[in-house]
Amino acid sequence: MLKEMMNSELGQILKTCPMGLALSNEQQKITWVNETFENYLGISADEISGQKIEDLPAVLQPLFTSSSAVHIPANSIRDDQWYMCNQKPVNGNTAHYISDVAPLQALKKERDLLKDELREALAIDEITGMPNKVALFQSLEPAISRSRRYNNLLSIVILRMDNIEQLDELQNARLMIEISHLLNDKVRWADTVGKLSKTDFLMVLPETAGDDAQMLINKLSKNLDSLTLPEELTDDYKMSFTFSHAEWKKGDDLTLLMKKARDALK
């Protein structure tokens, strides 16, 4: 049937259509690929015709088995690529369709970058409503300047949630909201607390010595241990967290002070 098709006008249409098309038989051997398929991957039909799908390079196999977007990393003969794949049975054979969605992936990446930039520009963490990294550093910079000028006490505390990768998006959001409420309730009006990253909270504590920061950590640890977890969390989830603190010393700028606190987390 394929031979007859290739000798027909329909065969020529399939051969040159702008979507990549391949056929495999019941033994999962590739029997034919069109020109678009060849051009997408920078290979000739002779290189893969007659091969079993399972014998193809691992990076190419998802093109013949997946029904979703597939990423093909760049190599010496092709750029980074994304394809939307689909498989359909045809009279005992299987038709494999691939279409180039790299431009859509690029637009999605650009959209995500713009969303991140907008989120930072707004200086608010979108889940908790707390100050984000930009706002926290905008608060920390003048606090350091005051300490440098007047030798005021200043400490920072980092709270890191250690195992949030076990949670899905909704569970993570609910947990972060609960923790943000707890932190806001326990700090003074002069303190600043916010979301430093996906896993970290930062507390900026003016007029606070390192020993007092440690006392706050001890209190917050007990509060977190007794925190009632949201119902959305799985029954077997056990919250795990790590604290660190750093006290400003003469010569510290924002980078050095943050480094001291982050190093203490390790």
CATH number at 237 reads 3.30.70.270
> In sequence order, what are the residues at sequence separation of 6 or more whose Cβ sits closer than 8 angstroms to the Cβ of residue 264?
158, 244, 245, 246
Q: Which tens digit of pLDDT belongs to each residue from 110-135?
A: 998 888 777 777 788 989 999 999 99
Domain that holds residue 43: 2-104
Residue 148: Cβ within 10 Å count: 15
What is the band of 148 on the pLDDT scale with cuts at 50, 70, 90? very high
Same structural domain, 131 and 255: yes
Token pair for residue 205? 């504590």
| CA pair distance 147, 254, nearest whole angstrom | 12
The answer to the question of residue 111 being in a domain is no
Average pLDDT over residues 199-205: 97
Give the H/E segment covering residue 195. strand 192-195
What is the band of 15 on the pLDDT scale with cuts at 50, 70, 90? confident
Same structural domain, 242 and 158: yes
The answer to the question of residue 116 being in a domain is no
The answer to the question of residue 43 being in a domain is yes
**Mean pLDDT for the chain?**
90
DSSP 105-127: HHHHHHHHHHHHHHHHHHTB-TT
Q: What integer pLDDT is reported at residue 157 of this predicted model?
A: 98
Its sign, for the CA torsion 18, 20, 21, 22, is positive
pLDDT at 206 over 70: yes
CATH number at residue 62: 3.30.450.20
Residue 83: half-sphere exposure toward Cβ, Cα within 13 Å: 28
Give the H/E segment covering residue 244. strand 241-247
- Report which of residues 157 and 120 the model is more confident about: 157
Percent of the chain with pLDDT over 90: 65
**Whether 49 contacts 109, CB under 8 Å:** no
Same structural domain, 89 and 161: no
Q: Which tens digit of pLDDT belongs to each residue from 38-97?
A: 888 888 888 888 999 999 989 899 999 999 899 988 877 778 899 999 999 998 899 999
pLDDT at 234 over 70: no
Residue 178: half-sphere exposure toward Cβ, Cα within 13 Å: 19
Q: What integer pLDDT is reported at residue 1 of this predicted model?
A: 46
> pTM of the entire structure?
0.59
The answer to the question of residue 221 being in a domain is yes
DSSP letter, residue 28? -
DSSP letter, residue 29? B
The answer to the question of residue 165 being in a domain is yes
What is the band of 221 on the pLDDT scale with cuts at 50, 70, 90? very high
Give the count of domains, the chain: 2
Angle at 62 between CA 53 and CA 101, to 5 degrees: 135
Average pLDDT over residues 216-231: 92
The answer to the question of residue 146 being in a domain is yes
Same structural domain, 73 and 150: no
| CA pair distance 213, 245, nearest whole angstrom | 7
The answer to the question of residue 113 being in a domain is no
Average pLDDT over residues 229-258: 90
